[in-house]
Structure 1
């Protein structure tokens, strides 16, 4: 069993090292999985075909349309000139020195509005790129700035967030999405404030060293520069004439998603989904995805309707977006496959259960177990689901014995899932870096500070505070 634990740690270190050195995760994840399997004594081929590949295929099957249309939307927002127009308008309103804050707030609003994290990443990159270019901020800070808005406080801390990370704990603790609103608001404010301070500090430090938006240290990875150049060339022919028009696609994403989620879909009869030909799927398992997909497709149609005179250029954008969606989705899916393999080895159960045996109270145990599994799997939702499936009932019973608020358990468990999940091998991190055309070496330091270091420190501080004063 000790050998199996060594295998998990070794595989994780290998995956992190390979990802940091620029090895495509679609190759690194299977290699790291083999290491974990060999140390555990499990069969390699069976683990690959029966565990890794089904998990990978399941992710692609669920999220391919979102990645596809999200990438197309991002490209069309750029080649139509809408991204640059929005960036200039926002910059004019808040001032170029506030480009980082504007990017964070815009990303956060979209995430809190219920738009999928992956979609927000695709949509926000062209907007952030133009904001940073206008303000001449080093490009390497873009991933961290977007990540602070979508992978931290709006995903797990703010009460009422529609993201799955805020919904999962309620299924185990009997709580709602607005659980422990006071803790969530305080935690969200701390993560946002400290993250913004770090990014502004780094901006000043990098500029003092002579870095700029186009400096070599912030250069795009292979292939990115030519894509940007092609987009800029196409953009020149599609400048929007009205400053309000470029905001319509973004408004459409939010409006359609909101309408489908709260008004349209709940009013429809989904009983036919119980039929065998539809897999007997529960409506609740698909409506969120369908609402997001409907919003992004509607926004793409709005973009096309507003630019009918340039159908040839738009078609080039569709083709370009389709191509760009392939590597992100398969890279992220490969990470999901790695997480499934690690979770399947016997040693993983020992690691998970040992946390419960530390003798800590229910709150600390929940936070630690979820943090560890999220770090091992590189997924906040996956890690939290694995941990709570195994320990949820015991944690709830222990919390009742110790008179610990279930609402505090909900909020701090969700926030804990949003810490170690962004280690370098994280699928979300890999996807965001690929979308931005940057590498771990260029951007992970700042991304890690705002999405891992700061959230972990805030969670530790809040758990300590709640242990003393109780929930609020």
Structure 2
């Protein structure tokens, strides 16, 4: 019982200090140490840190560092080349200010589905959002929720093939790929998209009926000509995004299944090739897209070295934050109290591990304020259990993969979430002004989508 209390206290402290803005790089090992001390094992603190915490952190880096690195680099190249702005402006011209909400959702969705970091998207799209919402006289307080819907939901967790790190994390644990349960993912994605769009449109109509417009927010005027000033044809801007998904699909369904990897096993006899193919597909597709983007705009780059360095350095904090959270989870998993917590979670719905998995992913994502962090901790500690339970109940690993990712993409956006705090800062707004709508489109509606996917998956299996 003391060990359980120690775990709960450390989790609450982790959530509290993360909300206050302290770095997870420091919080994760400190809160792991708090749990160890409170459980009465303080004498083992340093061995636990070096052998358990750092070992788990290092293993996570070995698995996912290339995905984080190339994803951040690609996002930076898309922003600095003008591709991100060109795509947003094309959709804006196509739909017009009258459909400002839909324009921003589609622009963010297209960019994030193509592999651009949600933080890069937020910075690139916000100036255009301000101009559109001003022209349509829609309250500025709805901009964060609109960007969040397009960036943090259906393209991050549901749509098949998305190169988001959340979609890559289950691959080595379940032996799946980025296209796991594509039909169910599309259904879940459509629920998030149309549900969120409908909600935001209704809120805009309600505000208009009440006489509320964009509002007075100081010097918010934007000259669209100055936003991502480099001109880039739409077809060329969207080509790298198509390549990310297309190359991934070709490798996953065409190239790798027809290859004989015996020569790989001769060199690396302990390597489970099947569990790595999904990650290899994402790495190659991002590398191809980055190369094409650089070469296609070769004559237009003014500070290519700066863009490359900024993208590379930008990957460091996210990967080490998430790896530190994994290290924290590994320490917690060694404590006696965790066995009680694990059994309680696994027995939430013993006949349907999908429900138990949803509870675990949602809870840990909510506590850490990170979908990738919560997903990583849960799979590090419970992944083998869920895979065994799924096999025992005839549930495919692909369905397990999709439910895990979608569930982790719900409660991760509670108020202490770093991405939400950053988004609000970019928009110059606060929680009181905008969080209700953010929570609706990133928590409530995605939860409905997860329930729908679990129901359909239970009835008809993975498809």
TM bracket (short chain):
0.7 to 0.9
User: Does the 8 Å contact 1:30/1:338 carry over to 2?
Assistant: yes
User: Does the 8 Å contact 1:384/1:417 carry over to 2?
Assistant: no
Give the CA RMSD over aligned residues: 4.5
- Name the counterpart of 2:144: 140
**Taking structure 1 as reference, are residues 123 and 97 closer, same or farther at Cα in structure 2, changes over 3 Å only?**
farther
- Name the counterpart of 1:7: 6
**Taking structure 1 as reference, are residues 449 and 304 closer, same or farther at Cα in structure 2, changes over 3 Å only?**
same
Q: How far has the Cα of 1:362 moved from its partner?
A: 0.8
User: Does the 8 Å contact 1:379/1:421 carry over to 2?
Assistant: no
Does residue 379 of the first structure (1) align with residue 386 of the second (2)? no
Does residue 280 of the first structure (1) align with residue 270 of the second (2)? yes
What CA distance in whole angstroms lies between the structure 2 residues aligned with 1:267 and 1:464?
34
- Name the counterpart of 1:419: 407
What CA distance in whole angstroms lies between the structure 2 residues aligned with 1:346 and 1:79?
50
**Taking structure 1 as reference, are residues 406 and 267 closer, same or farther at Cα in structure 2, changes over 3 Å only?**
closer
| Residue pairs, 1:156-235, within 5 angstroms | 163=167, 177-178=180-181, 187-200=188-201, 235=228
Residue 419 of structure 1 aligns to a residue in which SS? helix
Q: How far has the Cα of 1:88 moved from its partner?
A: 0.6
Q: How far has the Cα of 1:186 moved from its partner?
A: 5.3
- Name the counterpart of 1:259: 250
Tell me, which stretches of 5 or more residues in structure 2 are unaligned? 134-139, 366-372
Residue 66 of structure 1 aligns to a residue in which SS? helix
User: Does the 8 Å contact 1:25/1:335 carry over to 2?
Assistant: yes
Deviations 1:146-175 (A, max 9, x none): 11123443369x9xxx94578789779xxx
- Name the counterpart of 2:308: 318
Deviations 1:418-444 (A, max 9, x none): 335654599x96468669975996577
Q: How far has the Cα of 1:329 moved from its partner?
A: 1.8
What CA distance in whole angstroms lies between the structure 2 residues aligned with 1:246 and 1:416?
32
**Taking structure 1 as reference, are residues 420 and 246 closer, same or farther at Cα in structure 2, changes over 3 Å only?**
closer
Between 1:324-333 and 1:278-287, the stretch displaced more is 278-287
Q: What is the TM-score with the length of structure 1 in the denominator?
A: 0.73
What CA distance in whole angstroms lies between the structure 2 residues aligned with 1:420 and 1:70?
20
User: Does the 8 Å contact 2:252/2:277 carry over to 1?
Assistant: yes
- Name the counterpart of 2:62: 61
What CA distance in whole angstroms lies between the structure 2 residues aligned with 1:366 and 1:189?
20
| Residue pairs, 1:288-367, within 5 angstroms | 288-357=278-347, 360=349, 362-363=351-352, 366-367=354-355
| Residue pairs, 1:40-79, within 5 angstroms | 40-42=39-41, 43-79=44-80
User: Does the 8 Å contact 1:108/1:154 carry over to 2?
Assistant: no
**Taking structure 1 as reference, are residues 204 and 338 closer, same or farther at Cα in structure 2, changes over 3 Å only?**
farther
Give the counterpart of 2:261 among 240, 258, 270.
270
Q: How far has the Cα of 1:64 moved from its partner?
A: 2.5
Q: How far has the Cα of 1:89 moved from its partner?
A: 0.4
What CA distance in whole angstroms lies between the structure 1 residues aligned with 2:124 and 2:299?
23
User: Does the 8 Å contact 2:168/2:279 carry over to 1?
Assistant: no
Q: How many residues align?
A: 431
Tell me, which stretches of 5 or more residues in structure 1 are unaligned? 219-231, 400-404
Q: How far has the Cα of 1:343 moved from its partner?
A: 2.3
Q: What is the TM-score with the length of structure 2 in the denominator?
A: 0.74
Deviations 1:184-212 (A, max 9, x none): 66544433333333444566789977767
Q: How far has the Cα of 1:125 moved from its partner?
A: 4.2
**Taking structure 1 as reference, are residues 420 and 69 closer, same or farther at Cα in structure 2, changes over 3 Å only?**
closer
- Name the counterpart of 1:239: 231
User: Does the 8 Å contact 1:371/1:416 carry over to 2?
Assistant: no
Q: How far has the Cα of 1:346 moved from its partner?
A: 2.0
What CA distance in whole angstroms lies between the structure 1 residues aligned with 2:186 and 2:302?
47
What CA distance in whole angstroms lies between the structure 2 residues aligned with 1:361 and 1:287?
31
